Amino acid sequence: MQQIQETERLITVYRNVDEVTVGTGDQIYSRRGLINRIALTTAEIGDQIVNILERRLVAMRGELENLSAEH
């Protein structure tokens, strides 16, 4: 349930941002944070992120319903 709430929050966040920073993480260099960063406008990537999060939300809700039906 917590993951569902977090995903719902993220959908709202990504619908309303002006810019998204995308980067790679590396365990060896994790103390330096994201490396190979790029800033993308919401017009460039925002809708794709929201679509991905909405699909995840549907899948999580389906899993939750299945677990509820089993018990």
CA distance 59 to 51: 12
pLDDT value, residue 54: 95
**What digits encode the pLDDT tens for the residues 18-71?**
999 888 877 666 666 667 888 998 888 888 999 999 999 999 999 999 988 887
Residue spans of the domains in the chain: they are 2-66
Indicate the helix (H) or strand (E) that contains 63. Answer: helix 47-70
Burial state string for 12-32 with b = 16 or more CB within 10 A and e = fewer than 16: eebeeeeebeeeeeeeeeeee
- Is the whole-model pTM more than 0.75? no
Region at 25 (left for phi over 0; alpha for psi -120 to 50; beta for the rest): beta
pLDDT value, residue 46: 84
Average pLDDT over residues 15-19: 90
Rounded to whole angstroms, what are the CA distances from 9 to 12, 33, 37?
Answer: 5, 23, 24
pLDDT value, residue 51: 94
pLDDT value, residue 58: 96
